[in-house]
Structure 1
């Protein structure tokens, strides 16, 4: 039964994280198209919100898994998958962001918008590290 709970945790927290990340990116794009542009404090605020999102949601998913009777490694896997879902949203939104930024600055859209294999591999490492952080935080709190 723990495996079903894990899949539900991944789905719920992953979808919530994807929606929240897309909303943050959307707000940043709207602000970048305004007359004032995006000021450095606003960029810092969005960066902090992204980091909090990428640590809090996997931690909550891992804590929910641990509370459901799962092991630390199950919680780690759930947290890593939640981060991977949020990362996938960022990868999918990359071309939209590049086009919007090029339109706002009057520049050309870069030709190679799809990420390379090393970038995706580094993203996978990033997902595993944040999954470990999330599971560690959940283990400490629980």
Structure 2
């Protein structure tokens, strides 16, 4: 029964995180399209919120799995899967926001921004690190 619990946690926290991340990026697009562009401070706040989601949601999913009686490696796998879902949304939607901002500001270099295989590989490594961090913190707190 633990595997079903893990899948439910991945779905709830992963999809919930994806929706929240998409909403943050949509809000960033609205702010970028408001005519005056976005300041570095606003971009830093949005980036910090994205990083907080990327760390917090896998930790909560791992804590939920550990509270259900599963082991550390199951919690780690769940945390990695949640991080991958949230990171995939970030890697898919952030270039869209950057292209829109580049089009509004006239920056041609950012308009050609596209995710690549090395970026995806680095994202996967980051997800593994975040999953390990989340499972470790969850193991210490539960």
Q: CA RMSD in A?
A: 1.5
Aligned position for 1:44: 44
**Cross-structure match for 1:117:** 117
Counterparts of residues 97-112 of structure 1 (less than 5 Å): 97-108=97-108, 109-110=111-112
1:40–1:117: structure 2 CA closer, same or farther, 3 Å change rule? closer
Residues 43 and 107 of structure 1, relative CA distance in 2, 3 Å threshold: closer
Whole-angstrom distance in 1 between the partners of 2:106 and 2:137? 44
**Counterpart residue number, 2:69:** 69
SS in 1 for 2:15: helix
Could you tell me whether the CA contact under 8 Å between 2:79 and 2:135 is conserved in 1?
A: yes
Q: Distance in 2 between matches of 1:94 and 1:35?
A: 19
Consecutive unaligned residues in structure 2, runs of 5 or more: none
The alignment's TM-score, normalised by the length of structure 2, stands at 0.90
Q: Does 1:91 align with 2:84?
A: no
Question: What SS does structure 2 have at the residue aligned with 1:36?
Answer: coil
Q: Partners in 2 of 1:44 and 1:90 — Cα distance?
A: 15
The CA deviation string for residues 102-125 of structure 1, in whole angstroms up to 9 with x for no partner, is 321134431x62x22221111110
Q: How many pairs align?
A: 140
Corresponding position: 1:21 with 2:46: no
Q: Which residue number corresponds to residue 58 of structure 1?
A: 58
